[in-house]
A and B are shown apart, each in its own frame.
Chain A
Amino acid sequence: MKATIIITADGKISVITKEGTFEGGRQEIKKLLASLGIEGIEIASIDDEKDFEQHRHDSESHAHLHAHSHNS
């Protein structure tokens, strides 16, 4: 699964997966963060509901649906 990892200059990490389902992407991201944790890189706790969002792209209609798993 292809992914992009961004570490900002102010000390935040963001991960974007570009293939598969939302749930599959979320599981892969959580595995990645767990691996970083095993190597001693500490990350603030993650809220499954608020910290993940999905962007679905329907290629047939070219419509874009941005379905967020949070209320912000």
Chain B
Amino acid sequence: MPCNGVTVLRPISLKANVFREIKAQPEVAINAIKKLLADNWQAEVINIQQHKNATRFYINSGGYLEITADGLIKVAGFWLPQNHFERLAKIIGRLGVLLTQERIRQVIKKIAVVEDEQRAPNGALIINVKLEG
């Protein structure tokens, strides 16, 4: 008789991508990027445009931040020291993960019964569910 036990899927990489999240949940993603630019670089987003396969966030100083479909980040028209650029890329990468976490949370609510969820101190999202399959 098969005994009960624990089956574990070892950690698998999500293909988290900010550009994809802008498409999937535009309001949430755009507000998060606006806040990120305002909080860290005092840059106010005044216009958002699709430019070929990229999203451009024009800011009040005249430049823009561009996020491409493959997740690359470009800035033009405003100056960022090299270490700030690295910081910007890192923060946007983390934002991609946070937005993906949020989207998974929403999808899981649709496909399973969520019993509880919590945020670990290391930033991991832990969701206990009952699968109905």
Q: In the assembled complex, how far is the CB of residue B49 from the closest CB belonging to chain A, in whole angstroms? A: 23
Count how many pairs of residues, one from A and one from B, have CB atoms less than 8 Å apart in the complex.
156
**Contact across chains for A6 and B125 when beta carbons are under 8 A apart:** yes
Please give me the residue from chain B that is nearest to A9 by CB atom: B123
- Chain A positions 1 through 44: 1 when the CB is less than 8 Å from some CB of chain B, otherwise 0: 11111111111111111111110111111011101100111111
**Contact across chains for B130 and A2 when beta carbons are under 8 A apart:** yes
Residues of B within 8 Å of A32, CB to CB, are 111-112, 131
Residues of A within 8 Å of B12, CB to CB, are 12-14, 43-44, 46, 51
The answer to whether residues A41 and B123 also contact, given A12-B12, A52-B7, A56-B5 and a CB cut-off of 8 A, is no
Main secondary structure of the interface of A (DSSP, over half): mixed
**Contact across chains for A25 and B7 when beta carbons are under 8 A apart:** yes
Pick from A7, A20, A57: contact of B125, CB under 8 Å: A7
What 16 new A-B contacts, CB under 8 Å, besides A4-B128, A52-B8? A1-B133, A2-B128, A2-B130, A7-B101, A8-B123, A13-B12, A26-B7, A28-B131, A29-B9, A40-B20, A41-B100, A44-B13, A54-B5, A54-B7, A54-B8, A57-B4
